Amino acid sequence: MKKRIVPFIVGSLLLSLSTEANPLHSKAANFLEESSRAFTQVADKAMPATVFIKVQIAQQTPDMLTPFDFYGDDIFRKFFGQPFQQPPQQQPQPQTAGGSGFLIGSDGYIVTNYHVVKDASQITVVLNDDREFAATVKGTDPRTDLALLKIEETNLPYLTFGDSDTLKVGEWVVAIGNPFGLEATLTVGVVSAKGRQDVGIASYEDFIQTDAAINPGNSGGPLLDLEGNVIGINTAIFSRSGGYMGIGLAIPSRMARHVIDQLVHDGNVRRAYLGIVLQPVDKDLAEALTMDKQEGILISEVVKDSPAAKAGLVNGDIILQYNDKPIKNVTKFRNDIAMMIPGSEIKLRILRNNKQMTIVATLGTQTEGEAISAELIQKIGLQLENLSPEIAAKLGLPSDVEGIVISKVKPGSPAANAGLRPNFLITGIGTSMNNQKKVRNVTDLEDGLNELSDKKHIILLVRHSNYQRYYTIRINS
C-alpha cells in the first residue's frame, strides 16, 4: 500500500504547485522571469562589444603522419605491413585559428588572450554586426596571457571592467564568445571558486573558476556579472575531451585591468620587484623553528643588492603580513608584489628569532632576465626550495652538501618526463657537458637559465639517494 500512496502524494503536490493560483508557483515563475531578464540585459549590452578574432598563422610545412606515429610499430606492422611511403613534399600551407575578444573603448581597442594571437601573421576582427577590420597588436603580456589589439574605427560599443575582488563563490556569471567558430554565443553559470593558482597556464595566475560553458574559441572573451561588467577574461578549460567539462578559468579583472592599462599607455608592462626567494611554512618547518603556530612564508634567500637586502631583510625571516594584510600563500604574495608600482613602499610584518618587527621596503623594477628565469622554471614544471639545515636533516643529506631541493614536480611536465621527482637535489646546471655551473641556491639556477638563450635543452646535475647523475630537459619545441 505504501508504495502506491507515496507517488500519489508527490504527484498531488506537484499538481498543486503547478497551478497558476499557487503562491509558490507564482514566486518561482517571477524568479525565473527576473533571471531571464537579467541575462537578456547582459546579452543586449555585451554582445555588440564582443568580437570574433580570426588569425592567420605564418606558413608552415605540414608534417606527414602515418599510423606508426600514433601507435606501437610492432602492433601496426602485424596488420599493415611496412610503413606507408611518404607522399611527395607539399608546399607550406597557411593555418587559421580563431578566438574571442571584447572592445574596451569606442576608439577600437580590444582585449584578448596572448595565446590567441601570439603566432599570427594576420589578424582580422569581426564585429557583432559582421563588419571586418584588420587589427594590429599594440602590446602583449605573455606572463598573464593577455594581449591588446587595435582596429581603426570609432563610435564602437564597448565594455567596462568590474571589480573581481568583490565576487563571491556562487554568484551568477555570463560568458560570451565564439566557441568552435559559432559567433556571439552566451552561456550562464556561477563562480565555482576564486584564486586558482599553479595550474601551469601563465606565470602569474589567480584564476576565477566557473561552470559557465567555455569551449575552444571562447578564449579572450568576457566573463561578466549581471550588471554587464567584465569581471574576467575567459582563458582556459580543464578537459579530457577537448570540450566543456564544467571547469573554466578566467583571468580576474583586477589583474587584467592592471596589465591592459599599462599596455594602452606604455605598450609594455612594468612589475615591482622585492628580491627574495620564498617557501611555504609547513607543519614540520614551523615545529623546527619553534613557532607558536603555522603561518606566513619563509625567506630562504635574499638576493644581493635587491630592495629586500637594502631594507634589511635576511635569510630565515618569516613574513606574516604585508601592508596589514595576512599572508595566504607564496603564489598570492608574488602576484600581489608584481602588481604593485615600482618605487612604491611595502610594509612587511616579519618574525625574526621569535620576535615580530616591521620593515618597510621600497620596491624595484623586475628585469627581463628575472622574469624569464622564473617563467622557465615554471615551464619545465618545477617548484624549488633552497636547502636549509632542517630540509637537509629531513632528507638525510650530509651537512656539507649544497644545492636546491625539488619540492614539487608538475605531472606531465618536461621535468616529470625527464625523470625528476620531489626531494631530488639540484647541484649543478649546464648548457653542455663542458659548460657547467655549481648551483648552491635558486639564484644560481636562475643565473644559469638566463645564459641559455635559445638553447633547446638544459642539463641538470642532480643528487638522489647518495648518487649523482645528469638529467636532460627539453625546453623548446
What is the Cα–Cα distance from 245 to 257, expressed in whole angstroms? 28
Position 289 pLDDT exceeds 50: yes
State the pTM of this model: 0.69
**152: Cβ contacts below 8 Å, ≥ 6 apart:** 108, 133
Helix (H) or strand (E) holding 273: strand 272-273
Task: Single out the catalytic residue among 100, 164, 203, 219.
Answer: 219
Position 74 pLDDT exceeds 60: no
What is the Cα–Cα distance from 22 to 16, expressed in whole angstroms? 7
DSSP 79: H
Indicate the pLDDT class of residue 244, thresholds 50, 70 and 90.
low
DSSP structure string for 286-325: HHHTT-SS--SEEEEEE-TTSHHHHHT--TT-EEEEETTE
pLDDT tens per residue across span 290-326: 787 888 898 877 887 889 999 999 988 999 999 999 8
Measured at the CA of 221, the angle between CA 220 and CA 222, to 5 degrees, comes to 125
pLDDT of residue 261: 95
Name the residue with higher pLDDT: 328 or 325: 325
Distances (CA, A) of 431 to 241, 373, 382: 37, 14, 18
Q: Is 185 exposed, middle or buried (0-12, 13-18, 19+ CB in 10 A)?
A: buried
Q: Select, from the ranges 56-70, 97-111, 241-255, the one with the highest average predicted confidence (pLDDT).
A: 97-111
Strand partners, 230: 161, 224
Position 273 pLDDT exceeds 60: yes
pLDDT above 70 covers what percent of the chain?
Answer: 78
Name the residue with higher pLDDT: 87 or 344: 344
pLDDT of residue 59: 61
DSSP structure string for 334-392: HHHHHTSPTT-EEEEEEEETTEEEEEEEE-EE--HHHHHHHHHHHHHTEEEEE--HHHH
pLDDT tens per residue across span 186-206: 899 999 999 888 676 777 888
Q: Is 250 helix (H, G, I), strand (E, B) or coil?
A: strand
Domains of the chain, first to last: 1-63+93-268 (2.40.10.120), 272-365 (2.30.42.10), 375-474 (2.30.42.10)
Indicate the pLDDT class of residue 227, thresholds 50, 70 and 90.
very high
- 373 labelled catalytic: no
| Candidate from 244-248, 305-309, 343-347 with smallest mean pLDDT | 244-248
pLDDT tens per residue across span 382-424: 878 777 777 787 788 877 788 888 888 888 888 888 889 988 9
pLDDT tens per residue across span 362-388: 999 887 555 555 666 766 778 787 777
Rounded to the nearest integer, the mean pLDDT of the chain is: 80
Task: Single out the catalytic residue among 115, 141, 253, 306.
Answer: 115
pLDDT of residue 37: 81
pLDDT of residue 311: 94
pLDDT tens per residue across span 104-156: 999 999 999 999 998 888 999 999 999 999 999 999 998 899 999 999 999 99
pLDDT of residue 14: 45
Residues 250-256 have a mean pLDDT of: 94
- 284 labelled catalytic: no
pLDDT of residue 463: 87
Taking alpha carbons only, the member of 73, 260, 29 closest to residue 148 is: 260
pLDDT of residue 473: 84
- 444 labelled catalytic: no
Contact (Cβ atoms closer than 8 angstroms) between residue 101 and residue 110: yes
Name the residue with higher pLDDT: 240 or 278: 278
pLDDT of residue 9: 39
Task: Single out the catalytic residue among 100, 141, 145, 444.
Answer: 145
